[in-house]
């Protein structure tokens, strides 16, 4: 067992399980994905620490426990189709690919998209389609989705993206409006009606494309 395998086991036993991640399928998925492949080379030795890791350009890889709790709340089924908005280097998309049949990894930064494809190829994961397009619009071409995950926090969820959920679909995002505490939220679509609830607090960095809109200042 090498140092990364030990770190992966430690991540699961000291970060995920103690933070109420109990889904066995999900834990096996995290155990099977080599997180070190999805971070810059100079950060590989700390790939499994419980912190958001910088990817460059104001982007971060979410800390493992936040990503795991979001994915657990999604209750992903083997027949689901998933969309990751702001996929970054593709780590969450890779984990989801262990759980379901097809994943669209939406990324607007060409360098991050390139790194995601390289990591997925090195990991021999074929179920993820990396798409380069603006994040704020989602990806209607493959909609509807059973699961939509935001790969970072947002000031608010754009109205168009939840509409890309299938009936019974689940959308997971950390919402951080203004200077407020970040809240991991679950949005569901039932009978065509969207309902949202907070599930836990989280301090994930905001995706640059989803920063708060500047407030008007009256002189």
Give per-residue pLDDT as tens, 55-99.
999 999 999 999 999 999 999 999 999 999 999 999 999 999 999
Which token pair is 163? Answer: 């509409």
**Mean pLDDT value across the chain:** 95
Give the integer Cα–Cα distance in Å for 9 and 158.
36
Tell me 137's DSSP state: G
- Ordered by where they begin, the domains of the chain are 3-210 (3.40.50.150)
pLDDT given at position 108: 98
Structure letter (DSSP) for residue 107? E
Interatomic CA distance for residues 213 and 178, integer angstroms:
9
Q: What confidence tens digit (pLDDT) does each residue in 146-175 have?
A: 999 999 999 999 999 999 999 999 999 999
Question: Which pLDDT belongs to residue 44?
Answer: 97
CB within 8 A of 90, min separation 6: which ones? 38, 105, 115, 116, 117, 119, 120, 128, 130
Other residues' Cβ atoms within 10 Å of the Cβ of residue 127: 16
What are the pLDDT digits (tens) for 177-203?
Answer: 977 889 999 999 999 899 999 999 999
- Nearest C-alpha neighbor of 62 from the set 31, 89, 37, 29: 89
Q: How many residues does the chain have?
A: 219
- Structural contact between residues 167 and 192, judged by C-beta atoms closer than 8 angstroms: yes
Other CB atoms closer than 10 Å to residue 93's CB: what's the count? Answer: 30
Query: What are the start-end ranges of the H helices in the chain?
Result: 3-11, 24-32, 64-74, 91-99, 110-122
pLDDT score at 214: 67
CA 64 vs CA 35, 132, 159: distances in Å? 10, 24, 27
- Say how far apart CA 208 and CA 212 lie, in whole Å: 9
Is residue 81 a contact partner of residue 142, using CB atoms and an 8 Å limit? yes
Q: Tell me the CA end-to-end span of the chain in Å, nearest whole number.
A: 64
Return contacts of 156-159, CB within 8 angstroms, 24+ apart.
156/210, 156/212, 157/185, 157/187, 158/210
| pLDDT band (50, 70, 90) for residue 213 | confident
């Amino acid at each position: 067992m090498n140092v990364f395998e030990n770190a992966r086991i430690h991540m699961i036993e000291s970060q995920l399980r103690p933070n109420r991640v109990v889904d066995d399928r999900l834990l096996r998925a995290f155990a099977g994905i080599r997180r070190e492949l999805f971070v810059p080379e100079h950060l590989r030795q700390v790939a499994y620490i419980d912190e958001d890791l910088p990817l460059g350009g104001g982007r971060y890889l979410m800390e493992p426990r936040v990503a795991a709790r979001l994915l657990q709340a999604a209750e992903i089924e083997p027949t689901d189709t998933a969309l990751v908005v702001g996929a970054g280097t593709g780590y969450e998309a890779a984990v989801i690919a262990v759980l379901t049949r097809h994943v669209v990894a939406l990324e607007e930064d060409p360098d991050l998209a390139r790194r995601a494809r390289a990591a997925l190829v090195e990991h021999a994961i074929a179920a993820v389609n990396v798409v380069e397009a603006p994040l704020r619009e989602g990806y209607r071409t493959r909609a509807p989705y059973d699961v939509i995950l935001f790969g970072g926090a947002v000031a608010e969820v754009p109205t168009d993206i939840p509409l890309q959920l299938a009936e019974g679909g689940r959308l997971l995002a950390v919402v951080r409006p203004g200077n407020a505490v970040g809240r991991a939220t679950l949005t569901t679509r039932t009978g065509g009606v969207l309902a949202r609830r907070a599930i836990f607090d989280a301090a994930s960095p905001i995706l640059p494309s989803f920063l708060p809109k500047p407030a008007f200042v009256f002189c």
